[in-house]
Structure 1
Amino acid sequence: MLFLLSPRSIFQWTNQQCQLCHLPLYPQEQVWCRHCTDHFPQPPYCSRCGMTTVKPSGECGNCLSKPPPWQQFYRLGEYDFPLRQLVHQLKFSGKFWLAEPLGRLLARQIVHPAPAVIPVPLHPLRRFSRSFNQSTLLARAIARETESRCLPNALRRTRHTQTQRHLSKRDRKKNLNQAFILKAKRLPEHVAIVDDVVTTGSTVAELTHLLLRSGVKQVDIYCICFTPPRQ
């Protein structure tokens, strides 16, 4: 029944209590109460790779020596409270309507939006088990806010790869080898890839290389959470 409504309609229908602490919301509050949103400010980060920095940085030291294949990186924060909880609710608790407010928050940080946004595709089997692709919902919310085009079918995942969550960086790259194909015939020169969580960057790097080989000139990354590498 709920899936017959849009994510925005579901969000408005459920917007009676904070989606983190579940306390009632005051009329001026939306989605989260003011006590929970106090935890939302996130540390500055490198706008090229997404790594947390002491102060906002155009390119950190790592990017100066070995830059990633994409150009710009936008994130809401690190994979920590409260964003970690919200991503889990979105992906694993069926609260797909959270993609709308999360996408809007992220879109407000984007200085020069790409004309087209492309979600990281799920394999059909995984999408069937989850009933939706969270990256597609985020991409649609971002596209509405930035007046860009959302291209949910531009890429296709051809192999049902194992989950990346517990793999090393080397194994992640091997796991993604030839896992995607480009379906779109024509793309703008500037596009953005949308994902919920970026950890090692293996997935978005694989997709970036695929898009660059197809003639795209600039690829940006939009994500909710970034996972810093283990020290």
Structure 2
Amino acid sequence: MSLMFSAILRALPLRCQLCHHRLDQHQYPWCKSCHANLPRPPRCLHCGLPTPYEMESCGRCLTSPPLWNRLSCVSSYTFPYDKLLHRFKYQGHYWLAPSLAKLLATEIDQPAPVLLPVPMHWQRHWRRGFNHSNVLARHLARQLQVQYEPNVLKRDRATRQQQGLNRQSRLSNLNNAFSIKGVMPEHVALVDDIVTTGTTLNQLCRLLRGHGVKHIDVYCVCRTPPPAD
């Protein structure tokens, strides 16, 4: 966030993005009342998908567990989070990152000592202008007071968008797409804005496990059920 924008933001009266009531600067993007009334379904603490009640591992995880150990998220990709993330990711509203990071930080009890943003290929980074996962991870690291490493994971190959691909296509689409640099601690967390199928994260987890990482968390703003194959 630029110094000029920070000055403008401090000067303007902030308003809740839902009820439009005036806010103090520590409440953005919505007021405490609206935040308290947003739906928060219970979830499986392993995969992060909604469950009838909070549990360590759901039936899906018992039969086909993801390669990470624990997922922390704010909500599903529904209103109002979908609108907020769309502006952040596709409309260049990178100044929303501190607020998104603050929302996510409240869901993390024992943070990993190192945060790794999901990498973006340089071609997509050039077209979009910034890596949203990178920006989110940087602000989340500040909130959690942990280390942030943006250059450890690299996307070596430009891949098709995962959305719309079936399971087999998603897997083959990511073959040899990532590399890793440096020595890893035993506990890290991968940071992304939205997790749907988890295919990308599982590929990164395989890479990290091969480099000695024993415990992998996933931190995301939204976790939403994958489409049926």
CA change 1:93–1:112 in 2 (3 A) is same
Mapped partners of 2:195, 2:136: distance in 1: 14
Mapped partners of 1:194, 1:142: distance in 2: 9
Equivalent residue, structure 2, for 1:160: 158
Question: Residue 190 of structure 1 is aligned with which of 183, 187, 192?
Answer: 187
User: Aligned-pair distance for 1:8?
Assistant: 6.6
SS in 1 for 2:43: coil
Mapping of residues 42-191 of structure 1, within 5 Å: 42-183=40-181, 185-191=182-188
CA change 1:21–1:99 in 2 (3 A) is same
CA change 1:15–1:202 in 2 (3 A) is farther
Tell me, which stretches of 5 or more residues in structure 1 are unaligned? Answer: none
Mapped partners of 1:126, 1:10: distance in 2: 30
User: Aligned-pair distance for 1:70?
Assistant: 0.8
Equivalent residue, structure 2, for 1:213: 210
Mapped partners of 2:48, 2:161: distance in 1: 22
User: Aligned-pair distance for 1:10?
Assistant: 7.3
CA change 1:209–1:144 in 2 (3 A) is same
Asked whether the 8 Å contact 1:47–1:59 carries over to 2, the reply is yes
Tell me, which stretches of 5 or more residues in structure 2 are unaligned? Answer: none
Matched, 1:25 2:27: no
User: Aligned-pair distance for 1:129?
Assistant: 1.3
Letter paired with 1:170? Q
Asked whether the 8 Å contact 1:11–1:98 carries over to 2, the reply is no
CA change 1:221–1:174 in 2 (3 A) is same
SS in 2 for 1:229: coil
Asked whether the 8 Å contact 2:44–2:57 carries over to 1, the reply is yes
SS in 2 for 1:166: coil
Equivalent residue, structure 1, for 2:197: 200
Equivalent residue, structure 1, for 2:222: 225
The normalised TM-score by structure 2 is: 0.90
Asked whether the 8 Å contact 2:97–2:139 carries over to 1, the reply is yes
SS in 1 for 2:88: helix
Mapped partners of 1:6, 1:71: distance in 2: 41
